[in-house]
Amino acid sequence: MSESATLFQAIQANDAATVTDLIEARADLLTATSPSGLSPLLFAAYYRRPQMAALLTELGAPVSAFEAAATGSGLHLESALQANPDLLHAFSPDGFTLLGLCAFFGHEAEARMLLALGADPNTVSQNAMLVAPLHSAAAGNHTALARMLLEAGATPDAAQHGGFTPLHSAAQNGNTDLVKLLLARGADPAARTDAGDDALALAVEGGHDEAAALLR
């Protein structure tokens, strides 16, 4: 196994000692890329390894705008945007906008900053998922962030890959607060996924009685 592969394996395993040893021996591994094109820092964020993300930053990992959005590093994000304002509308190597990353990981302050700078809450990811930031917020159960996006003009009924709308995700997750919010904003409870399921069916399937009651 290559040292790069070992690094990503150690990050996923929360193996701080191995990560430290590898980076101290070869600092260039901080800019290695995973098979899917992720940096070690983005990889740690995607695998929900905050301790690893903090360790990599401490060891000198470069923090791009996308890494900053994923890890909630407001200072790095602000600095990157000051240096290159076009990043506001750019896409990460795996196809997500800065706002989309903040939405998925639940970083409200950073999302608010991006919206204030003019980020489009309806920009769809440039990958097979075809998600807008509201889909990402719904998938992550971030109700307050979803509210922020809706107030900024996010389309409540936008469909991602598979025909899933934010309401489908909220129902599937049993997030009653988000179900209420989306319904109040005009989300269509009768909308169906490509598989033919409406939000009620997904709530029932997941055993989410309270969410199902809101959708009947």
Q: Which candidate, 60, 41, 49, 37, places its Cα nearest to that of 13?
A: 49
Is 9's pLDDT higher than 80?
A: yes
- The whole-angstrom separation of Cα 118 and Cα 31 is 30
CB 88 within 8 A of CB 66: no
Phi, psi of 58 (to 5 degrees): -65, -35
Q: Which two tokens stand for residue 108?
A: 């409200």
Is 37's pLDDT higher than 90?
A: no
163-192 in b/e form (b: 16+ CB < 10 A) is: ebbbbbbbbbbbbbebbebbbebebebebe
**Which residues have a Cβ under 8 Å from the Cβ of 2 and sit 6 or more positions away?**
none
pLDDT in tens, 170-192: 999 999 999 999 999 999 999 99
- The whole-angstrom separation of Cα 87 and Cα 28 is 25
**% of the chain residues with pLDDT over 90:** 97
Q: Which two tokens stand for residue 89?
A: 């509308």
Q: Is 8 left (phi over 0), alpha (psi -120 to 50) or beta?
A: alpha
Sequence letter at residue 185: R
Task: Tell me the average pLDDT across 19-45.
Answer: 94
Sequence letter at residue 175: N
Give the per-residue pLDDT at 138: 98
Give the per-residue pLDDT at 1: 77
